[in-house]
Structure formats: structure tokens, C-alpha cells
Amino acid sequence: MPESLPGEDYYRATSAADDYAALAGSIDTGICIIGGGFAGLATAVSLMERGRGDVVLLEADTIGFGASGRNGGFVFGGFSLGERSLVGAVGASDARALYRLTLDAIERIRGRIARYGIDCDLREEGVYLANWFGDQRILDERQRFMADSLGVEWRRIGRADLADKLHTERYSGALFEPGAFHFHPLKYARGLARALAGGGVRVHERSRVLRIAPDGAGWRIATAAGEVRAREVVVCCGGYLERLSPRLARAILPIATYVMVTEPLGARLHGALRTGAAVYDTRFAFDYYRPLSDSRLLWGGRIAVRARAAGDVARLLYRDMLRVYPQLAGARVDYAWSGMMSYGRHKMPQLGRLPDGQWYGMGFGGHGVGPTTLAGDVLAAALCGDGAALARFAPWKLPATGGPFGQLAAQLTYWYYGLCDRVRA
């Protein structure tokens, strides 16, 4: 590995950025969306597709700056809350309907990539859930549960068949989700922003919101150089919310995750993976990885309460990669980075409206691409008068996460379950 790594991550190094002017002066609009990540972009696109042109989107940094432009690029069904816990919380019927919303969101993403001509390195090759443990019942029970409770068919892959795809002794089999895919998330986010700008939605980067204040029947949203007066405001800031909304900030845990990308591996990649599918495993503290179009391998994993320097991330994840694919020893790491995700205590998306009238969409950490798109559709529908889908998320409110104590508890929980994974293995 190199002694130093570039300051930018792989996604930023391989995605052309557009330049959206910072907000200057005062403007009036119907809806102001704060946050240029997947949730904010999806809400704006859903409103645009419903014929709403009176929308302004404000981003504190650049489009896709946060978790939306730094994640693993997996696009598949479900929530961070596990499927069994989802059924336990709301029953099989409602759980099936909620899970179906995430599958619909995946199709929405496919449709938008095609409709807006977004070049985002789309790979329609599915996702493997690989079994880290020797107990085959783990996969058999998961497959039956998904089919019986949620109506989802995952394909069972035996050890020998999986070994033809993943050249490692680490896994004892897998479940394959054929309808899933993976992509370059930052290119997708920037593609959505271009679609919005082309559709008449005002997009402003480097426009950090300093204050949201009531203004008659609406809101006054202030930045350093301008302000927006809007009838409705939607907060979609995730792990970078900071002090903008104390009520919302108390309900999320900003948690870091780590990602690295190797050098182009050429034929060496096929000595480890003979598939274009993405992979994650059955541990609580799982790895996730996928081959990239230029023969690099993207590898992610671990969670922590703080971000790390690129070199530290590379050393940790490189070691994790070699535990699975020792034949990649000596491969250079070209990029490594970390970023903050937002988790609710219940691990479900937090969608709704505060008593003062502010709308919000956050809490997508760990499983965000599909649910953020779902959130955009749900919030847009509610803003246009149809709150039926939003009502499905009423069981998951805004419980306080405990601030620094909550972060400590989350770190200890991760370490504990990581230890359980090692004992079980």
C-alpha cells in the first residue's frame, strides 16, 4: 500500500462535477429542500415528476457530499432494520407492504437512470449474501422466511457453485438476489441534480442553511448570502445535520463507515471473483464489496463513531480483504475514505412532519440507496396531499439517541456483536 493516498475518494476522482451557484439574494418558492443527498434529490425529483416546479434545493457543500456519494453502491431491497425485526414490529402484512416499497424504489431508480440518461456505471448482475459460517441452516431459514413472510424469492447457491464465482474458502454458500444491482452512487446523484436543473428546479451548492425560522404561514430559510421564503420546508441532512435542527439532531446517531478501492487488478481480479455481482456476508459486522468496471475492487466494512484518515482506513480494510482473498496480497490500495451515516435508534427511516410543520427524511444509515428513493416518493406524495404511504412509517418516530452516550453504546454494541461473530465462526 502507498504511504499516502489522494485527498479525494474514488467516486469524486471518477465523476465529472457540475457547478451550481451558491444562493444569493432572496427568493420565494413553494417548497425548499435542505440537503443534496439521495433523500433530498429524490424528494425534489418526485415533486418535479408530479408537475411541481416551485422547488428549491439547498446543499451545504456539493451534490452527494455525504453518505450518498461515499457508500458501497449496492441497490437492493430492505431496510437497516432486519426483516425478522420488521415483521415483529408491524406484522407480516404491513412488513410485506413496506418491503415492497423498497423493491418499487429499486425499479424507480432503474427508471430514472434510463429516463434521464444517467451514466452511473450500472451493473445489473445481482447481489450475493454469502454465508460466513458453516451452518447451512442460516441460509435455508433466511430463504424460507423471505419467501413465506415477505413474498421475496432469493436463489440458494451451494458451496461448490459459489466457489466457481468467488474464489475463497471463507464462504459455505450464499443467497442470490437477482433483481439487485450496483452502481457509481455519486454519478447517479449528480445525474439527478442535472435532471432537476434541466427540469426547472433551482439547485444551489455551497449554501449551508444557518437558520430555519417561521415566516407567517411559511418559512424563512437563511444562508450566509441569501434566503428562501417557502410555504414548506423539508430537512434531509442525515449524518451532517449538526446544529440546524436540535429536535432532529437528538434523534440520529452519526456513525462512520469505511471504504477502499484497489488499483486496477486486470486478470488478478478474476483470480478472486468471476462474477460482476456485489457481495456481502452473514455476520453482524460484515464486509461488502464489488468489482468495478475498470477491474478495481471496492471493499467496505466496519462502523465506528468517528471517521478515520485514509491511510488508517486502507490498513484496516486491506487486512479484511486478505482474510477472504489472500491471493490479492500485494495489490495496491489507490483510494480509501470514510463518511458519516445517520441512524435512528430503531434502524428505520425517519419520515414525517414535526409539530411546527417542518418535514423531514433521515435515518438511512447502513441500507440507504433504496430507502432514500422511497422516502422521496413518500414525502413528495405527502407534500402534494397524499399521506397514505407516509402513515406506514408512523410506528418509527424520533426517539432520542443519547448523544455521545448513544454513540458510545453503538460502538460497544458493534464490538460485542463482532466478538460474537468471531466466536460463532
pLDDT tens, position by position, 144-190: 999 999 999 999 999 999 999 999 999 999 999 999 999 999 999 99
Report how far residue 335's alpha carbon sits from residue 103's, in angstroms, rounded to the nearest whole number: 31
Report how far residue 255's alpha carbon sits from residue 66's, in angstroms, rounded to the nearest whole number: 12
What 3-state DSSP class applies to 335? strand
CB 300 within 8 A of CB 72: yes
What residues contact 277, with CB distance under 8 A and at least 6 apart? 125, 126, 127, 128, 165, 176, 290
Residue 105 pLDDT > 60, yes or no?
Answer: yes
Reported as a single tens digit per residue, the pLDDT across 34-88 is 999 999 999 999 999 999 989 999 999 999 999 899 999 999 999 999 999 999 9
Report how far residue 51's alpha carbon sits from residue 11's, in angstroms, rounded to the nearest whole number: 32
What 3-state DSSP class applies to 277? coil
CB 193 within 8 A of CB 63: yes
Report how far residue 191's alpha carbon sits from residue 310's, in angstroms, rounded to the nearest whole number: 27
**Containing H/E element for 176?**
strand 174-177
CB atoms within 10 A of CB 94: 14
Residue 287 pLDDT > 90, yes or no?
Answer: yes
**What is the pLDDT confidence band of residue 288, given thresholds at 50, 70 and 90?**
very high
Which sequence spans correspond to the domains of the chain? Answer: 10-424
User: C-alpha angle 379/37/202, rounded to 5°?
Assistant: 75
The phi and psi torsions of 27 (rounded to 5 degrees) equal -135, 155
Per the rule left: phi > 0, alpha: psi between -120 and 50, beta: everything else, 201 is beta
What per-residue confidence (pLDDT) applies to 246?
84
| Residue 326 per-residue DSSP state | G
Q: What is the mean pLDDT of residues 252-269?
A: 91
What per-residue confidence (pLDDT) applies to 409?
58
- Can you give the length of the chain in residues? 425
CB 386 within 8 A of CB 377: no
CA dihedral of residues 87, 91, 97, 102 (deg, nearest 10):
-20
What count of Cα atoms within 13 Å lies in the side-chain half-sphere of residue 85?
A: 9
| Residue 239 per-residue DSSP state | G
Distances (CA, A) of 12 to 186, 187, 233, 351, 401: 7, 9, 29, 29, 32
Report how far residue 330's alpha carbon sits from residue 333's, in angstroms, rounded to the nearest whole number: 9
What per-residue confidence (pLDDT) applies to 135?
92
Q: Where are the alpha helices (DSSP H) in 116-254?
A: 137-150, 159-165, 185-198, 246-249
Report how far residue 198's alpha carbon sits from residue 374's, in angstroms, rounded to the nearest whole number: 22
Report how far residue 252's alpha carbon sits from residue 238's, in angstroms, rounded to the nearest whole number: 8
**What is the pLDDT confidence band of residue 421, given thresholds at 50, 70 and 90?**
low
Could you say which of 3.40.50.2300, 3.50.50.60, 1.10.3720.10, 2.40.30.170 is the CATH number of the domain covering 10-424?
A: 3.50.50.60
Report how far residue 187's alpha carbon sits from residue 191's, in angstroms, rounded to the nearest whole number: 6
**What is the pLDDT confidence band of residue 243, given thresholds at 50, 70 and 90?**
confident
